[in-house]
Structure 1
Amino acid sequence: ALGAARVAGVSLPSLPNQDNSFAEIYARIDKVIDCLKGLSPSQIDGKDDAKVTVTIGGQPQELTGQNYLYHFAILQVQFHATTAYDLLRSVGVPIGKIDYLGPRPR
């Protein structure tokens, strides 16, 4: 959501790192969903070459919209999903590859 919002050039929602309860986690998820619902395709379409500045390793980095989404934002989501999956598996939660991959398209 933040990646799409950055490329669209809209204000990012405040998402402080204070998920101390499931209620706070659900509230954070709701904010992200609201952010996505507030975007329209026209706000992102044609922004492949738009400049997006993000802080990486404490340094501001300027990327094109396409490079930011493909080489940073999507990879961030994949990294965190993989890490959550690995942590759950390590404590014995009975999940498998299909839970990570999701249903196959038909």
Structure 2
Amino acid sequence: MPLSMYQASIPVLTRGLGVLSTLLGKGAAHADANGLDRATIVAGRLAPDMYPLSGQIQRASDTAKFAAARLTGVDGPSFADEETTLDELQARCAKTIAYLESVGLDAFEGSETRQITFGGGASKTTLPGDAYLLHFALPNFFFHVTTAYDILRHVGVPIGKLDYLGMPRQS
């Protein structure tokens, strides 16, 4: 049986967001155990021209929501980028997972060939759904998940590769 667009997207995205939520929890525990201000972790960044941790979580959430919405041809939810605490960022992960889990398998019918247009201006691009998912949405999602992990490591949260990978699940 071939891999479906649903299988290649929803379980992968929900798992990544679950890992992010767990990492955020470890960040909170680290801050609390070491008398650190949690706001310092939320504001952590790798370089001045990069999003802080909060922005990385917001972009991962947006990428996941947009992927599901674009592939299924429906409007996804809109979340304001107002999270300023680790708890609020975890809640955003949970809201995004809840949305992704509400998108049914049937909604992905024909999504591999659905034309997906994204970006704006000179960067406006149209790709078939399979290319959009595999060559843009998933790499973009994991860029932000990885960068969030890197920021947490950078600010001293004791996490490692297995924390990033999480426990594999069978679909």
TM-score range, shorter chain: 0.7 to 0.9
Structure-1 separation of matches of 2:132 and 2:111: 11
**Identity fraction in percent:** 42
- What do residues 27-82 of structure 1 show as CA deviations (whole Å, max 9, x unaligned)? 42243123212211111133111011111676321111101110111111210111
When normalised by structure 1's length, the TM-score is: 0.83
Root-mean-square deviation over aligned CA pairs: 2.2
Structure-2 separation of matches of 1:57 and 1:90: 35
- The residue that corresponds to 2:133 in the other structure is 69
When normalised by structure 2's length, the TM-score is: 0.55
* Larger RCO (CA under 8 A, 6+ residues apart): 2
Structure-2 separation of matches of 1:43 and 1:93: 39
23-32 or 57-66, which deviates more: 23-32
* 1:96 partner letter: G
Using a 3 Å threshold, how does the CA distance of structure 1 residues 58 and 27 change in structure 2: closer, same or farther? Answer: farther
Structure 1 spans left out of the alignment, 5+ residues:
none
Structure-1 separation of matches of 2:169 and 2:88: 32
The count of aligned residue pairs is 106
User: Structure 1 or 2: larger helix share?
Assistant: 2
Q: 33, 40, 49: which is aligned to 2:113?
A: 49
Alpha-carbon distance, 1:23 to partner: 4.6
Structure 2 spans left out of the alignment, 5+ residues:
1-63
